[in-house]
Amino acid sequence: MHVENNPDFKTVWQLAHDWVGEETDKTDPNAISPKLRLAIDRLIRAIGSKEISARWKGHRIFIDESLLSFIFDLRHSMRFYFWVMFNKFSKDYLDNLYVKRNEVITWCEKVALLDPPPCWSQNQITTTVQTAGKTAETDEENKNWHDELTERRRKITGCLELAKKLWEENPNQSYDQIYNHSILQKYGNPSVFSKESFQEWAKEYASEFAKKGGRRKKSTK
Domain ranges of the chain: 3-142, 151-211
Report which of 201, 180, 205, 200 is spatially closest to residue 190, judged by C-alpha positions.
Answer: 180
pTM comes to: 0.56
Report which of 18, 39, 17 is spatially closest to residue 28, judged by C-alpha positions.
Answer: 17
Q: What angle do CA 75, 146, 72 make, to 5 degrees?
A: 10
Task: Identify the weakest region by mean pLDDT among 34-43, 84-93, 123-132, 156-165.
Answer: 123-132
What is the pLDDT, as a whole number, of residue 34? 94
Q: Is pLDDT larger for residue 119 or for residue 4?
A: 119
The 59-61 sheet, strands edge to edge: 9-11, 97-100, 54-56, 59-61
Kindly state the DSSP code that residue 111 receives in the 8-state scheme: I
Confidence of residue 12 (pLDDT cuts 50, 70, 90): very high
Task: Identify the weakest region by mean pLDDT among 17-31, 130-144, 174-188.
Answer: 130-144
- On the question of pLDDT at 39 being above 50, the answer is yes
What is the pLDDT, as a whole number, of residue 141? 47
CB count in 10 Å sphere of residue 221: 2
